[in-house]
A and B are shown apart, each in its own frame.
Chain A
């Protein structure tokens, strides 16, 4: 089955700096890669996603890049703000059984 590895598990940055979270996946047939943000006491919130026919996607301060050959994708947050502090999860669809497999999460802390 699909295996999604996410790094780092914790990331601390200063306000205004950039943050990068990386994920690798094992199923070469995977073609959808979402990123979720989970704040304390809340459910995961879809913040951006990318499909395999696209190499990069941007939405304001957030961008995702995908390298299908290397089977990895990354989340980039620029000009970080304290409200970006949360746990971020990457995921990939396992086409063989139609399920979304999540990484273990990255706790991002943005220090004011």
Chain B
């Protein structure tokens, strides 16, 4: 158990809908990272927040957004969902702002029908 928690574990929704994925980092970690894992693209970095502020951005679509709250938990919002958004979404956390020594959560499996 990495200490990173994610909810929900599974999410099934329809095209055009909006969903929110939630992540709680390990105790003491200030950075939260979001990743998308699909069979064809592998593990792709989406975005990082450090102590409430956006720190780094990867291949995140404009339909996706994230935020980190004062208690350091983070939410990833996915809107206008398309079939191709079906994937595993992982959250990771680390102590500092640098993206090393990241610990991953168990993931949320999103299925868009």
- Chain A interface (Cβ < 8 Å from any Cβ of B): 32, 34, 36, 42-46, 49, 89, 93, 97-105
Q: Which 6 A-B pairs have the closest CB atoms?
A: A43-B104, A102-B43, A32-B100, A98-B56, A44-B104, A99-B45
The number of inter-chain residue pairs (CB within 8 angstroms) is 55
Report the Cα distance A84→B82, complex, angstroms: 36
Of residues 69 through 83 on chain B, the ones whose CB sits less than 8 Å from some CB of chain A are none
Q: Which of B2, B99, B106 contacts A93 (CB 8 A)?
A: B99
- Chain B interface (Cβ < 8 Å from any Cβ of A): 2, 4, 33, 42-43, 45, 48, 55-58, 90, 97-107
Which B residue sits closest to A103, measured CB to CB?
Answer: B42
Which A residue sits closest to B4, measured CB to CB?
Answer: A43
Please state if A105 and B42 are interface contacts (CB–CB under 8 Å).
Answer: yes
Report the Cα distance A52→B77, complex, angstroms: 36
**What's the minimum C-beta distance from A42 to chain B, rounded to whole angstroms?**
6
Given the interface contacts A89-B43, A98-B55, A100-B45, does A43 sit within 8 Å of B101 by beta carbon?
no
Report the Cα distance A44→B58, complex, angstroms: 19
Report the Cα distance A42→B104, complex, angstroms: 9
**What's the minimum C-beta distance from A89 to chain B, rounded to whole angstroms?**
6
Within 8 Å CB of A49, what residues of B? 100-101
Report the Cα distance A101→B102, complex, angstroms: 12
Within 8 Å CB of B45, what residues of A? 99-101
Within 8 Å CB of B33, what residues of A? 100
Report the Cα distance A84→B47, complex, angstroms: 30
Within 8 Å CB of A32, what residues of B? 100
9 of the cross-chain contacts (CB-CB < 8 Å) are: A43-B4, A43-B105, A44-B90, A93-B100, A98-B56, A99-B45, A99-B48, A100-B45, A105-B43
Q: Which of B2, B90, B98, B100 contacts A34 (CB 8 A)?
A: B100
Q: Which of A44, A89, A98 contacts B99 (CB 8 A)?
A: A98
Please state if A43 and B2 are interface contacts (CB–CB under 8 Å).
Answer: yes
Please state if A45 and B100 are interface contacts (CB–CB under 8 Å).
Answer: no
